[in-house]
Amino acid sequence: MKKSNISFIENQLQSKWAIIFIVLRFLQKLIVQLWPIFLALFLGGSGRSGFEKYEIIGASVGIFGMFTSIVAYFRYFYRVSHDELIIEKGIFKKIRLNLPFERIQSINFHQNFLHQILNVTAVEIESAGSEQKELKIDALRIEVAEELRKILLEKKASHRQPSNTLIYETEEFRPTTEKINILDLNLPQLIKVGLLQNHLKPIGLLFSLGGSAFAYGYTIGMDPMEIINYARRNLFNLNFDEYALWIPLFIPLMILYSIVTTILRHYNLNFSRSGQRFHVVQGLINKQQFSALDRKIQIMSWSQNPLERLIGLFRIYFQQARSGNGKEEKMRFDIPGLSHSDIDEVKNHWLGLGRGNFENKFGVSIHFFKRSAIYQCLFYGLILVLLIYFCPLRWIILWVIWWSFSLFLTWQEYKKKRFAINANEVYVGGGRLGFKNSIFPVHKIQNIRINQNPYQWRRGLGSLILYTSAGRVKIPYIKIEKAEELMDLLIYKVERSKKSWM
Amino acid sequence: MHKNSYRIALLMDISQNEFTNHQISTNLLPKIKDVSFSNLHADYLKAEIIGLSIMWLILLAAISIGLYFGDLPYDWIYYIIIIVLLTIVISSYVLTIKGFRKKLYALREKDIIYKEGIFWRTQLLVPFNRIQHAEVNQGPLQRIFGLSELKIYTAGGSSSDLSISGLMYSEAQEIKHFLLHKTAIDEEE
């Protein structure tokens, strides 16, 4: 086998295993579009006459899929010319994609379970600009993928940017810069991180699962009344104490769920930095390897929930500018288990040494709490009246406790809301039980809006909304004069800044 | 002292970047408050009212046919429906007229500002150096009056895109050219 002396000058095929991934994608598409038919066949097919018909149709669709997948594999080529990466594909119509080196933003590896078994990796190449789509190669042998990445990065580095594409900052792309490790998480640390997660998450998941199960049942012709009756017999007939009995049983399950999902997602997490970018490698079944360019990151946030606060660990979030058809999940990513000094280190890497510090932070108007409290009291009060008529005392007490808790959370949100602006950056922070702080350079702002609802303008207040290309940041309920003053100041900085937002 | 901290921040920025040391405050910055906004073209109100009237004619015709053939048990229900409908129709005209006066825009050297809203007020400011592209659209009713809609896109997402209807077609085109020319100059620099 040839090892590392592939030059990529001539058309290259993917690894043979790529056929499997093409077939799987075909099946996935088929199932996504036709799943109700499959389900109906699966559930009610056995008693039906003419079942062979379906089998024949199924088999022919399968054979057609196999055939086109194999053709697709042999019609998919990639090669590296002197100034761009070229991909040619298409079964009937030939499609040629060209990606000039200077547009390459990052090259990410993605390995799911099957990739790992077969010792191959999917390669995703992100590009700058909105019109160019992201390129994806289904499966390459790891050595080949590494080699391709090396060659592309080298070529990109040696390739001078034409002067008319200087829409980016003048930072140089240096793949050879040494790697600085910021964080490594081993298994015990991951379990610790898992323990600190929000364990109530699976409850929401359960509800949505229940909801969709109900909807599925309905679409394949099950009697909805029967489902409701079944649920009522088995769930709602329990009295209050029996519900209470179930809770201790669920808690360990929910904690286990958090730990397992954390390990699956962040297994062997390595968070590092080289050149002008952060790198992340993580995952057990789905192995991810991706990098985020400084100029593409628009907002950096860090948070602590109450559990993380006890231990003193933080989670960090990056929001990257959306490009073309960028998937949301990749545009934002988060890293758990960081210490306070790690956060400072990341901040220094991204913004520059000593940047991102704020002397004075400002709060928002008390009306931020008041208005929300008024609405809550209307809503909770109305339900309370209904409860008093129809439900036993225990439920009423529970409702009042929940009401007070909700008011407490709103109060906390008001108390914790903070914002600040220094010479180069904007800070907005807040939270209810925990907190989340966000920070971004002023020149990342795209445009600014001031909103006033009737409650606000009667009291001379307004909300300032700062839009970046990775989402918006809101400073709610401040004096309208202050909002306008901030708008003047920030827009002055944006218009004066020569820095590009990406 | 707290109130002045962003002024201090501004001071620091100016002194760091240009090495001058004049006393400065946010009072020297161009202010949104001082901008004189212009109303949209008066014909836009006419077009809006005609559009609204057409909509109500169709809707009211449908409703009255329904009421004529429908069989309501009591007469007073008819009166309530008529009163409610009249209130809605009248207030829709009042809101359109009042809302028109609240729709204001201003063009500055480096940005464009648009205000609107009677109850929920909003003002959006888009700096020229963040504009991705701009377009001028014309609906059928707008075409009769020679009006058009100017849309300005940034990378800030669809909720932050600026759209001004009710500009004269020629004016919208002029603004568009002005914007794109400005953006081009900024990029060359």
Same domain as B184, residue B166:
yes
Same domain as A95, residue A43:
yes
A6 in helix, strand or coil? coil
The encoded tokens of residue A461 equal 């207040």
Same domain as B89, residue B137:
no
DSSP annotation string for A8-70: --S-B---TTHHHHHHHHHHHHHHHHHHHHHHHHHHH-TT-TTHHHHHHHHHHHHHHHHHHHH
Which range of residues forms the domain containing residue B68?
44-99
Instruction: Give a yes or no: residue B54 inside a domain.
Output: yes
Q: At what angle do helices A201-219 and A240-266 cross, to 10 degrees?
A: 100
- Is the pLDDT at A472 greater than 80, yes or no? yes
Length of chain B: 189
Same domain as A472, residue A333:
yes
Beta bridge partners of A184: A270
Same domain as A224, residue A108:
no
Highest mean pLDDT among A96-105, A134-143, A145-154, A429-438: A429-438
Domain count along chain B: 2
Residue B33 contacts A, CB cutoff 8 Å: yes
Nearest to A167 among B10, B130, B187 (CB): B187
Same domain as A323, residue A453:
yes
> Comparing A299 with B178, which gets the higher pLDDT?
A299
Same domain as A378, residue A454:
no
Q: How many CB atoms lie within 10 A of CB A386?
A: 10
- Is the pLDDT at A1 greater than 80, yes or no? no
CB A303 within 8 A of CB A431: yes
Which residues of chain A have a Cβ shorter than 8 Å from any chain B Cβ?
130, 167, 321-322, 359-360, 362, 420-424, 445-454, 457, 467-469, 471-472, 484-489, 491-495, 498, 501-502
Instruction: Give a yes or no: residue B157 inside a domain.
Output: yes
The pLDDT score that the predictor gives to residue B20 is 45
CB interface of B with A, residues 62-121, below 8 Å: 110-111, 117, 119-121
Per-residue pLDDT tens digits for A365-418: 999 999 999 999 999 999 999 988 888 888 889 899 999 999 999 999 999 999
Instruction: Give a yes or no: residue A10 inside a domain.
Output: no
DSSP annotation string for B20-66: ------GGGS--STTPPPEEPPHHHHHHHHHHHHHHHHHHHHHHHHH
pLDDT band at B91 (very low <50, low <70, confident <90, very high): very high
Same domain as B119, residue B62:
no
Instruction: Give a yes or no: residue B119 inside a domain.
Output: yes
Instruction: Give a yes or no: residue B5 inside a domain.
Output: no
Same domain as A395, residue A462:
no
**Residues A198-202, mean pLDDT to the nearest whole number:** 79
Same domain as B90, residue B51:
yes
CATH at residue B170: 2.30.29.30
Q: Which residues of B touch A450 (CB under 8 A)?
A: 122-123
Note the maximum CA span of chain B.
83
The pLDDT score that the predictor gives to residue B22 is 47
Any idea which residue has 């389900």 for tokens? Answer: A39
Q: What are phi and psi of B162, to 5 degrees?
A: -100, 135
User: Could you give the CA distance from residue B5 to residue B1 in angstroms, rounded to a whole number?
Assistant: 7
A357 in helix, strand or coil? coil
The pLDDT score that the predictor gives to residue B177 is 87
The pLDDT score that the predictor gives to residue A148 is 87
Contact between A487 and B125 using a beta-carbon 8 Å cutoff? yes
Same domain as B111, residue B51:
no
The pLDDT score that the predictor gives to residue A13 is 85
- Is the pLDDT at B11 greater than 70, yes or no? no
Same domain as B169, residue B128:
yes
Domain boundary (A238, A265, A292) is at A265
Contact between A501 and B29 using a beta-carbon 8 Å cutoff? no
Lowest mean pLDDT among A257-261, A273-277, A445-449, A481-485: A273-277
Instruction: Give a yes or no: residue A353 inside a domain.
Output: yes
DSSP B103: -
CB A74 within 8 A of CB A13: yes
Q: Please give the residue of chain B at the shortest CA–CA distance from A168.
A: B187
Instruction: Give a yes or no: residue A194 inside a domain.
Output: no
Same domain as B126, residue B74:
no
Per-residue pLDDT tens digits for B96-139: 999 999 999 999 888 999 999 999 999 999 999 888 888 899 88
Instruction: Give a yes or no: residue B84 inside a domain.
Output: yes
The pLDDT score that the predictor gives to residue A71 is 87
Contact between A447 and B127 using a beta-carbon 8 Å cutoff? yes
Same domain as A210, residue A357:
no
Contact between A489 and B13 using a beta-carbon 8 Å cutoff? no
Alpha-carbon distances, residue A100 vs A85, A87, A153, A165 (angstroms) = 6, 12, 12, 12
Contact between B6 and A446 using a beta-carbon 8 Å cutoff? no
The pLDDT score that the predictor gives to residue A2 is 42
Per-residue pLDDT tens digits for A268-285: 999 999 888 899 999 888
Instruction: Give a yes or no: residue A502 inside a domain.
Output: no
- Is the pLDDT at B3 greater than 50, yes or no? no
Q: CA nearest A15: which of A119, A87, A101?
A: A119
User: Could you give the CA distance from residue B96 to residue B81 in angstroms, rounded to a whole number?
Assistant: 22
Lowest mean pLDDT among A100-104, A367-371, B64-68: A100-104
Domain count along chain A: 4
**Residues A75-89, mean pLDDT to the nearest whole number:** 85
| Pairs across A and B, CB distance < 8 A | 110
pLDDT band at A130 (very low <50, low <70, confident <90, very high): very low
Same domain as B69, residue B138:
no
Instruction: Give a yes or no: residue B34 inside a domain.
Output: no
Same domain as A216, residue A87:
no
Which range of residues forms the domain containing residue A407?
367-414
**Chain mean pLDDT for chain B:** 83
Lowest mean pLDDT among A97-111, A138-152, A271-285, B78-92: A97-111
Q: Which residues of A touch B123 (CB under 8 A)?
A: 449-450
The pLDDT score that the predictor gives to residue B71 is 75
Instruction: Give a yes or no: residue A192 inside a domain.
Output: no
The pLDDT score that the predictor gives to residue A222 is 64
Domain boundary (A265, A298, A314) is at A265
Nearest to A491 among B2, B119, B127 (CB): B127
Residue B28 contacts A, CB cutoff 8 Å: no
Same domain as B86, residue B49:
yes
Q: Please give the residue of chain B at the shortest CA–CA distance from A463.
A: B122
**Residues A323-337, mean pLDDT to the nearest whole number:** 68
> How many angstroms separate the CA of residue B127 from the nearest CA in chain A?
7
User: Exposure pattern of A121-139 as b/e (b: 16+ CB <10 Å)?
Assistant: bbbbbbbbeeebebbebbb
Nearest to A450 among B9, B122, B157 (CB): B122
Q: Which residues of A touch B122 (CB under 8 A)?
A: 449-452
Domain boundary (B64, B99, B134) is at B99
The pLDDT score that the predictor gives to residue A395 is 83
> How many angstroms separate the CA of residue B19 from the nearest CA in chain A?
15
Q: CA nearest A173: which of A128, A137, A129, A212?
A: A128
> How many angstroms separate the CA of residue A491 from the nearest CA in chain B?
7
Contact between B130 and A362 using a beta-carbon 8 Å cutoff? no
> Comparing A465 with B71, which gets the higher pLDDT?
A465
CB interface of B with A, residues 112-131, below 8 Å: 117, 119-130
Lowest mean pLDDT among A28-32, A262-266, A494-498, B134-138: A28-32
Instruction: Give a yes or no: residue A91 inside a domain.
Output: yes
Residue B15 contacts A, CB cutoff 8 Å: no
Same domain as B184, residue B109:
yes
CB A317 within 8 A of CB A334: yes
Instruction: Give a yes or no: residue B94 inside a domain.
Output: yes
Contact between B130 and A453 using a beta-carbon 8 Å cutoff? no
pLDDT band at B70 (very low <50, low <70, confident <90, very high): confident
Cα distance between the two ends of chain A: 42
Q: Give Cβ neighbours of residue B161 (< 8 Å, ≥ 6 apart).
A: B151, B152, B153, B154
Nearest to B13 among A423, A452, A484 (CB): A423
CB A408 within 8 A of CB A388: no
pLDDT band at B48 (very low <50, low <70, confident <90, very high): very high
Lowest mean pLDDT among A142-156, A432-446, A464-478, B78-92: A142-156
Same domain as B109, residue B94:
no
Q: Give Cβ neighbours of residue A107 (< 8 Å, ≥ 6 apart).
A: A123, A124, A125, A126, A148, A149, A152, A153, A291
The pLDDT score that the predictor gives to residue A223 is 65
Same domain as A256, residue A153:
no
Domain boundary (A237, A265, A293) is at A265
- Is the pLDDT at B9 greater than 80, yes or no? no
Instruction: Give a yes or no: residue A228 inside a domain.
Output: yes
Instruction: Give a yes or no: residue A75 inside a domain.
Output: yes
Same domain as A215, residue A156:
no
> Comparing B91 with A108, which gets the higher pLDDT?
B91
Q: Which residues of B touch A487 (CB under 8 A)?
A: 32, 125
Of the residues A425, A448, A473, A494, the best mutation for testing chain B's interface (the one with the most B CB atoms within 10 Å of its CB) is A448
Domain boundary (B54, B71, B99) is at B99
Q: Which residues of A touch B129 (CB under 8 A)?
A: 494-495
CATH at residue A90: 2.30.29.30
The pLDDT score that the predictor gives to residue A231 is 65
pLDDT band at A227 (very low <50, low <70, confident <90, very high): low
pLDDT band at B1 (very low <50, low <70, confident <90, very high): very low
Model ipTM over 0.90? no
Name the helix (H) or strand (E) containing B167: strand B162-168
CB A465 within 8 A of CB A483: no
Same domain as A287, residue A252:
no
**Residues A280-291, mean pLDDT to the nearest whole number:** 86
Same domain as B136, residue B66:
no
Same domain as A393, residue A334:
no
Instruction: Give a yes or no: residue B38 inside a domain.
Output: no
**Chain mean pLDDT for chain A:** 82
